[in-house]
Amino acid sequence: AQSVSQHNHHVILSEAASLELGCNYSYGGTVNLFWYVQYPGQHLQLLLKYFSGDPLVKGIKGFEAEFIKSKFSFNLRKPSVQWSDTAEYFCAVSPNNAGNMLTFGGGTRLMVKP
Amino acid sequence: DTEVTQTPKHLVMGMTNKKSLKCEQHMGHRAMYWYKQKAKKPPELMFVYSYEKLSINESVPSRFSPECPNSSLLNLHLHALQPEDSALYLCASSSPGRNQPQHFGDGTRLSIL
């Protein structure tokens, strides 16, 4: 079975700082990769996804992620965070041969100080 | 606002009660999902329905009984739950297929007394 690790459980940044959240997965086959965000009191929302093609994917709100197959990683980045980015961020993986079963990482709580 | 509607938003029930959680979507999605999310933990998949048929059951205890009466509705029937079943229950929907993003509801926060 696949597993997903997010190494940073809590991150605190000041506004305008750059963000990188790590995500590594373990699975031997082809995977689909997602980042979801959960703002305080809101539902999970899709930030971006990777299925194939260009390993650098751009999502909403200025976020991007890079798939590095050799490192089994899909790190999330944003050049300059805003206070409104305060949220919990989940990386998720779906094996390509297993329907649409999502396995989530443990999540990273991001706090951006104004 | 999310396009996946879950009711009720909060539910408190005793261990001998029977209750149901409801989920509705009108995006034409033919895949629907139930997840369980404990506090400070990620969502964990419970069930997957594809074209109104149960396709995945992640070894969930029988006190949780899913039902998909039509392509827009998904229910989770609860009976004889345990205190450790207290959690946020999330419903999601997507187009069927391997790489379709899932759309999540706000969840039902369930407390078992």
Put simply, the answer to whether A97 touches B42 (Cβ < 8 Å) is no
Cα distance between residue A11 and residue B13, in whole Å: 36
Domains observed in chain A: 3-113 (2.60.40.10)
pLDDT of residue B77: 97
Looking at residue B31, the DSSP 8-state letter turns out to be E
Looking at residue A71, the DSSP 8-state letter turns out to be G
Which residues does chain B have with pLDDT short of 70? 1
CA of A51, closest CA in chain B: separation in Å?
7
pLDDT of residue A82: 97
pLDDT of residue A98: 66
Cβ A83 vs Cβ A28: under 8 Å: no
Phi, psi of B84 (to 5 degrees): -70, -5
Put simply, the answer to whether B104 touches A43 (Cβ < 8 Å) is yes
Test mutation, A31, A57, A102, A103, chain B, max B CBs within 10 A: A102
Put simply, the answer to whether A96 touches B106 (Cβ < 8 Å) is no
User: Any CB–CB contact under 8 A between B97 and chain A?
Assistant: yes
Cα distance between residue B9 and residue B106, in whole Å: 8
Residues B25-48: pLDDT tens digits?
Answer: 999 999 999 999 998 889 999 999
The helix, strand and coil proportions of chain B, stated in percent and rounded to the nearest 5, come to: 5, 55, 40
Cα distance between residue B96 and residue B75, in whole Å: 19
B54-63, long-range: CB < 8 A, 24+ apart: B55/A99, B56/A99, B56/A101
**Nearest residue on chain B to A52, judged by CA atoms?**
B99
Which residues does chain A have with pLDDT short of 70? 98-99
